[in-house]
Amino acid sequence: MKRLIILFVVVSVGFVIFQSNSPAVPLTYYRHFTVIERQYPNIDPNNYHSMIWFWTYDSLYGPVRSNDYIGIKYSPTFYDQVISSQDTFVYNNLYEPYYEYLPIFNAPELPFPESFPELAELADSVIESDNGRLITRVVLQGEDGIEIHQMRIGMPLPEPGEEDNLIARYDPPEDDVIYIDGKCEVYGILNGRLTLYSSRDMFLIDNVIYEGVDPRDGDFSEDEMEHILGLVSGRNIIIRNNEKNGRNDGGGYYNFNPNELDHHSIAINASLVSLRGSFTFENQNDDWEPYQGPCPDERGIIYMKGSIAQYRRGCIHRSNHNGTGYGKDIHYDQRLRTQTPPGLDMYDEPEFFGYHDTLTIDQDFSRFFSLSVRKLTIQAGSEIELYNDNALTVFDTLLVNGTADEPVIFKFNNCNSSAFNFKRDTTIVSIQFAEFDSTTLIRFNGENCNIENSTFRAPVSMENYTLENCTFYGSAWLKNVVIDNCTFNDTVLATGQFSFLNSTFNSSLDLGSCTRFNIERCVIRDGLEITSQFYEGRIYNNTIVGSPDRAGIRIRFNSSLEVVNNIITDNYGGIWVSVAPFETELRFNDVFDNQDSNYIDCEPGEGSISADPLFVNPDSGDFHLQADSPCINTGDPDFPDDPDGSRCDIGAFAYEYNDVRMDNPIIVKGFSIEAYPNPFNSQLKITYNLLEAGEVALAVYDLSGKRVADLVTGKQTARIHTAFFDGEGYSSGVYLVKLEAGKRHSLCKAVLVK
């Protein structure tokens, strides 16, 4: 800005860290924002005389938000999102307003600063007021720039256009901030981009409009408008009761000629921010005021296009003396959704709410409350605060792309039950490297949900999930899940159909109302209890050890249950069957040294032994087998061989002949299957390694177990092979790719995202 500066001082207010008092979103984003909706803040909101109402003639086209109760009288119309930090509205009648979107309640309070020292620090010009003795008048002169005048407080103030005592003149502003340390008045036509910040009351003494608008009502097209203005007051923004604004003219907003540019209405183009007061009008005809206007004292209409943020919602019309003040015709400047006046975009806690089609989060911190989104992507290193129940609803796709070095962290605030909601049968959820930090139960629901490499620090409830490489520190209620290589440190209750693979349970595992289940190659440290009837169950190759109060396996209900190749040792009891008739099939288990008895109301079955399994270091939790363990090569011979090609071992861990502790390790090329990319959009590349030639079957299944595609059938040689699965024509979801070669089989999961 080219300018003549006559007064320049160092800002006297101290700088404070912006994060401590900055708004979570720009205050100028809202058509209407208030901390307090009441005329008298200390009066109960249910006192109708305290509230300032939205009523029938209010049509609000921009977002509305309040930290207080919002008062509804008769039938106002809200065309955009309405947000309140309280749990309901305050109604003055039984009428319901019209909403384009359902209102959001119990939202986080939007921080509202008492002052903006950071904005003052940004100021291109600073104007002093001689310790409050002077009032500064800012005259916007379009292409001619800005004039600054000052007058002595207590002396008669000239009408707009009659001022003298010019102290500064500036060129049209280009993203500039002017700070006035004291009271100020403002009017005129703005050419440029400007924020005017007054530390005390700011008075509007005539139209404040953009160059090129209709001066009668200040209307303009957002697409064609390049000028923008922010008016920030440390106290109140007040429409001055002067001749230009209709003082004593007796016309009122019921009787005026819109073709007269000098009528008693006022046009405003700006984002108004009143930090410790309100947007209101001067001389409200109260009986105790020195000024007493006519009765009624109707002064005109406020034509405004912009936004209003105020600590307390102020009156712009009152009913005293048969009516005092202004009618209103207030419209929202839609540009404020994506841009702000200079210096008013300072915030570091973005919030997301309402409905979005596609959203990508890639920043340090974000807050979700009542957010609905079709497709949501969260990038590595993001921290998400889920505020209130139902904080997040995803309709189509959720992708959380954390990494080991930069996980995505989810924190929970004011959540009593479900913070995550995924539309059943339609939502694809893929979560990589996330941490869920909460002190209350987290409910997850949905279909086709896949979580990998993540940590849960609170109790969770999950249904229809596939989890891999996850750690749970709170209790878990699981239904219809596939769990692979996970660690549970608190109680687990599983129901429905589920599969637990290669996982560790450091607390009790209870099976409730199940239909089918499979528990394979898991370590269970506080017993497994089957407490409800089921249709079919398989308990294969597990190590169940160290429960002082429970049996290794207690079976209260059973139907077609197989317990094969398990080590069950050092528990209160071994296998305890308390159901008749006995239908459980036990074979090839090592049940040894359990306190009460190894077998209670059951027999060991074929191939079972009772011998010290010789773990490597059970005290430290290493339940691998020593070289001379009796469990090596003594498992069910009908089971697939171990990776070294020998007969399967008993227990969760097959003895590794290529272990580095051996003098002459045997290197075995692993039998494996991998899929890339994952998640995939159209074509999935599948790579698998065969240890020996023979018959091979490679197929794709959905989560219900239905085979949806045969990829390979027939003989293949021992080497690395490649196959492809074309997802065209298939629905989004989680699929299982199964490889069978002789007695070996392997699975991998793939997520199809469209």
**pLDDT at residue 13, rounded to an integer:** 27
Q: Are 244 and 206 in contact (CB under 8 A)?
A: yes
DSSP for 107-147, please give it. PPPPP--S--HHHHHT-SEEE--TTTTEEEEEEEEGGG-EE
* Residue keyed to tokens 């002459």: 664
Single out the residue of 336, 350, 245, 221 nearest to residue 299, CA to CA. Answer: 245
Residues 6+ away with beta carbon under 8 Å from 338 = none
d(CA 506, CA 527): 9
Q: Which two tokens stand for residue 28?
A: 């100028």
Single out the residue of 98, 96, 95, 106 nearest to residue 79, CA to CA. Answer: 98
| Backbone φ, ψ for residue 121 (5° rounding) | -65, -30
- Give per-residue burial for 169-205: e unless 16+ CB within 10 Å, then b: bbbbbeebbbbbbbbbbbbbbbbbbbbbbbbbbbbbb
**pLDDT at residue 425, rounded to an integer:** 60
Which whole-number Å values give the CA distances from 460 to 372, 437, 446, 453, in the listed order? 22, 11, 14, 16
Question: How many CB atoms neighbour CB 596 within 10 A?
Answer: 11
672-752 sits in which CATH class? mainly beta
Band (pLDDT 50/70/90 cuts) for residue 9 is very low
Region for 325 from its dihedrals, namely left if φ exceeds 0, alpha if ψ lies in -120 to 50, beta otherwise: left
Instruction: Give yes or no for residue 15 having a pLDDT over 50.
Output: no
d(CA 244, CA 546): 88
First to last CA, the chain: 51
Q: Are 545 and 521 in contact (CB under 8 A)?
A: no
- Percent over 70 (pLDDT), the chain: 88
**pLDDT at residue 4, rounded to an integer:** 32
The residue with greater pLDDT, 745 or 588, is 588
Q: Which two tokens stand for residue 725?
A: 């699965």
**pLDDT at residue 18, rounded to an integer:** 26
**pLDDT at residue 2, rounded to an integer:** 32
d(CA 154, CA 193): 32
- Percent over 90 (pLDDT), the chain: 51
Q: What is the pLDDT of residues 591-631, one digit of tens each?
A: 999 999 999 989 999 999 999 999 999 988 899 999 889 99
**pLDDT at residue 248, rounded to an integer:** 62
Q: What is the pLDDT of residues 730-752, one digit of tens each?
A: 888 888 888 888 877 787 888 88
* Residue keyed to tokens 């009624």: 296
Query: pTM of the prediction?
Result: 0.69
Q: Are 348 and 374 in contact (CB under 8 A)?
A: no
Q: Map out the domains of the chain as residue ranges.
A: 21-99, 122-337, 348-474, 672-752
Instruction: Give yes or no for residue 557 having a pLDDT over 80.
Output: no
Rg (CA), the chain: 36
Least confident piece of the model among 488-502, 585-599, 714-728: 714-728
Q: Are 617 and 578 in contact (CB under 8 A)?
A: no
Q: Are 176 and 194 in contact (CB under 8 A)?
A: yes
Band (pLDDT 50/70/90 cuts) for residue 525 is very high
Give the pairing of strands 683-689 and 720-726: antiparallel
d(CA 538, CA 542): 11
**pLDDT at residue 426, rounded to an integer:** 64
Task: Please state the rounded mean pLDDT for residues 542-561.
Answer: 90
Q: What does the CA dihedral 228, 231, 237, 239 come to, rounded to 10 degrees?
A: -40
**pLDDT at residue 741, rounded to an integer:** 85
d(CA 280, CA 316): 5
Single out the residue of 675, 689, 654 nearest to residue 725, CA to CA. Answer: 675
Instruction: Give yes or no for residue 96 having a pLDDT over 90.
Output: no
**pLDDT at residue 728, rounded to an integer:** 85
What is the 3-state secondary structure of 312-327?
ECCCCEECHHHCEEEE
**pLDDT at residue 625, rounded to an integer:** 93
d(CA 250, CA 323): 12
Residues 6+ away with beta carbon under 8 Å from 88 = 69, 105
Averaging pLDDT over each range in 87-91, 145-149, 480-484, which range is the top one?
145-149
Single out the residue of 244, 261, 251 nearest to residue 206, CA to CA. Answer: 244
Instruction: Give yes or no for residue 230 having a pLDDT over 80.
Output: yes
d(CA 265, CA 259): 12
